Chain A
Amino acid sequence: MQLKRKRLAAATLSLLGAAVAPGPASALDLELPSEQLSKKWEFDTGMLVYSEAGGRVQAVEPVLKATRLFGQDRALTVKAVVDTLTGASPNGAAPASTPQTFTGPSGQGTYTANPGEAPLDDSFKDTRVALSADYVFPVSANGKFSYGLNGSKEYDFLSAGANARYSHDFNQHNTTLSLGLSYEADQISPVGGAPVPLSLMPPPLPPPPPGPEPEPEPEDGEGGSAETKGVTDLVLGLTQVLDPNSLVQFNYSLSTSSGYHDDPYKVLSVVGADGEPLRYVYEARPDARTKHALFARYKRFVFSSDVFDVSYRFMTDDWGVQSSTVDSLYRWNYNDRSYLEPHLRWYTQTAADFYRAALYDGEEATVDFASADPRLGAFSGYTFGLKYGHEMPSGNSWSARLEYYQQTGEREGVPEQAAAGLEKFKLEPDLSAVMFTVGYRFKW
């Protein structure tokens, strides 16, 4: 039989050629099954701590992502995120020369802003739980399909969505085209019901007379009228390998949404010529929004082991918001197991057509839409970050990232008649925040 084996070896040698088949038989050792190698699950765990300066929003966000591989390019990914938000966020009202007191969203409790300060609603506290599952599988030698479901729940918000994506490789896998489609249905049940847009915010009641505490109204997010919104997203993508060390990627995305877009807890100050508030009205936004975005990325290996990644995104919508984002990172793999990754991001946006720092007396009856939400104002922001990652001999890895965000707002949407009176107040939506993330990745 050994002769027979030699005939097989000789036949194989003539097939592969001497260059391929090494002469002597290999030194080899086969061991018994090893537990370590049968691990099928890969877990990514992480924790994000986000903290805005000045006692504003603080968030703690644990994330758990698990991927189960099923051999040939099939994978199931499930992800769970829990957000705990506390702190205060601007309610949209402009600063004033006297203290301003507002009723909390539930009609219970009040919060007060000092003179000259932007009012912050500190009754804001929420926990969000989000779950998603995605499955990807090959449909041909060059085609891959994935679909997924996602949902999230907050005190006053419920969201459910589904998505599907197909990608196809061409040109010896050097070109990939993809098409993705997703739909999300949201339900918002504002505390105390959704306010009528541009209607007056009820002034806070005087403190109750001493005596027995009244039974508190049950705080039930479901109790108010529920509003809904639907969001459809379409993404077309092209990835092209330029050479073994670099690639480019282009995406076009179209997002359309219709339904309730207001923030039910945001108001605007209605001011007189002196810039001081006369009353407050709830904000009003259009009931539909269409966004177009273009994205381009260039990614390459540099200096034999490092990676440079730069991208640009342009977005424009029918609310008048235009934004640009430049994002870049450099991954310095300074040895086989460790890397440092500096990150720099710049973002700028124009204000929505209906963004108003405040409304002039009587104006609330003449406008269709108005919002003082800082997120719809004009601003620019920088993010600076540094990440460190390390892989342990077991193959598991961990990372830590510290980032700083600084946002500078522009003075926009100031009513002309009150411009002089508002001169003395800071109306720009400034913000700074620190983010710290730790992650651990392991197999099971």
Chain B
Amino acid sequence: MVKAARVVSPAIRVEAAPGGLAGRFQAMASPCEVLVDGADGAELARITGIVAAEVWRIEQHWSRYRNDNVVHRINTAGGRPLTVDAETAQFLDYAAKLHEWSGGLFDVTSGVLRRAWKFDGSDRLPSAGQVNALLPLVGWDKVSWSAPRLQMPMGMEIDFGGIGKEYAVDRACALAGHATRHAVLVNCGGDLASSGPRAGGEPWQVGIDAGGIGAAAALVRLAQGGVATSGDAHRFLLKDGVRYPHVLDPRTGWPVTGGPRAITVAAATCTEAGVLSTVALLHGAGAEDFLEDAGADYTLTW
């Protein structure tokens, strides 16, 4: 009696979705969905395979939970210099530009602050001492980077989690868009990219859950480009009525309070949208001003 999912791999499924079929898989701790306008099931399965392969490749390459990749080599270098691959080098170049562009708000070295901050919905804030002890290990300006050679002080780490998923969505969508004459939409947990409008110029319509905030789901109409969402969703601390979201200001080591709970931004690419939403969230109560100044398409959930 159940309309069975067409399983083409243990990890890739082709299933009925509102308005047609969707290819689905899991990556980067998110459900991922691929829509291919006007394609049949086999074509959708093929394109989903291409998308999944690329997203999984980037996940393996940059996951900080693995011990066999370049991020692990960087984070265990113990102060010694090392040479990174070309793709990682390009990404570090981008990270360096973003650090400068955002006035230090966007920083791929801020991950070590997680040692003090456990965003589990509780009221257990770390002490100022705990946070201050970690600050010497945070800051892109302490890193010596000249592609492809990277050297960081002992104890520092990098983490591409802040923007790696958006990059993967853009790359996978582009690869898929080249592999089929149909328009493609890739959606990994609300970070999405489209290779072009649907047949007849119709926009894609995608529901964004704003990271699990529930009722605050937004319907996004996207012809081409990318959309990304940043928010504290379930990951926050709550003490004395103040909500501390999981995005940490790398300059102080503390969360920025008083801002929106979620920000969804649209831009030419998912990566650009992700940078805008992440940096906007770090502006706290000034998020909207930042987005207005940037001329961004956005929606906020307070």
Residues of A within 8 A of B (CB): 1-2, 4-5, 7-9, 11-12, 14-16, 19-38, 40, 44, 46, 48, 63, 65, 71-73, 138, 141, 167, 169, 172-176, 239, 241, 244-247, 299, 301, 303-307, 331, 333, 336, 389, 391, 393-395, 397, 399, 401, 437-439, 441
Contacts and interface: CB of A to CB of B under 8 A. Distances in A.
A33 B218 contact: yes
Contact of A301 (B8, B170, B197): B8
Contacts of B93: 14-15
A25 B268 contact: yes
Given A7-B97, A15-B167, A172-B56, 7 more contacts: A19-B178, A23-B268, A28-B222, A31-B221, A174-B11, A247-B8, A395-B16
Interface in B80-102: 90-91, 93-94, 97-98, 101
A48 B222 CA distance: 43
22 contacts: A7-B97, A8-B98, A8-B101, A11-B101, A12-B275, A20-B170, A22-B224, A25-B225, A26-B226, A27-B197, A28-B223, A28-B297, A29-B222, A33-B218, A37-B209, A73-B31, A173-B25, A173-B56, A174-B10, A247-B7, A399-B1, A439-B3
Given A11-B97, A304-B43, A305-B42, A31 B218 contact: yes
B294 interface: yes
Given A28-B297, A241-B9, A244-B9, A16 B264 contact: no
B101 A7 contact: yes
Interface residues of B, number: 90
Interface in B84-143: 90-91, 93-94, 97-98, 101
B1 A438 contact: yes
Contact of A141 (B17, B65, B266, B271): B65
A22 B225 contact: yes
B276 interface: yes
Contact of B225 (A26, A336, A389): A26
Nearest to B293: A1
- Interface SS majority for chain A: mixed
B148 interface: no
Interface in B252-297: 264, 266-269, 271-272, 275-276, 293-297
B78 to A, nearest CB: 25
B272 A305 contact: no
Given A15-B91, A173-B56, A393-B19, A21 B268 contact: yes
A104 B227 CA distance: 70
Given A336-B21, A395-B18, A176 B223 contact: no
Given A16-B171, A26-B226, A389-B3, A38 B215 contact: yes
Given A19-B178, A26-B268, A8 B224 contact: no
B294 A1 contact: yes
Interface string B190-225: 000010110000010001110010111111111111
B40 interface: yes
Nearest to A73: B26
Nearest to A246: B8
Contact of B266 (A22, A30, A333): A30
Contacts of B215: 33, 35, 38
A379 B90 CA distance: 68
A437 B3 CA distance: 13
A36 B205 CA distance: 13
Given A4-B294, A141-B63, A336-B20, A397 B56 contact: no
A20 B63 contact: no
B9 A30 contact: no
B49 interface: yes
Nearest to A307: B6
Contacts of B222: 26, 28-29
Nearest to A11: B97
Given A38-B209, A301-B45, A395-B18, A16 B269 contact: yes
A78 to B, nearest CB: 15
A61 B41 CA distance: 33
Given A5-B294, A28-B297, A16 B271 contact: yes
Nearest to B48: A244
A143 to B, nearest CB: 12
Contacts of A138: 26
Contacts of B25: 173
Q: Which of B26, B41, B94 gathers the greatest number of chain A CB atoms within 10 Å?
A: B41
A306 B1 CA distance: 18
B299 interface: yes
Contacts of B227: 28
A7 to B, nearest CB: 6
A173 B224 contact: no
A233 B195 CA distance: 49
B101 A4 contact: yes
Give the most central of B9, B46, B59, B203: most A CB within 10 Å: B9
Nearest to A392: B18
Give the 8 A-B residue pairs with the shortest CB-CB distance, closest first: A439-B1, A26-B225, A37-B207, A46-B1, A395-B18, A173-B11, A1-B293, A37-B217
Contacts of A46: 1-2
A254 to B, nearest CB: 23
A212 to B, nearest CB: 52
A14 B167 CA distance: 12
Contacts of B223: 26-28
Nearest to A32: B218
A143 B281 CA distance: 33
Interface string B42-85: 11011001001100100100010110000000000000000000
Nearest to A172: B56
B150 interface: no
A141 B27 CA distance: 8
A12 to B, nearest CB: 4
Contacts of A25: 225, 267-268
A2 B291 CA distance: 11
B41 A44 contact: no
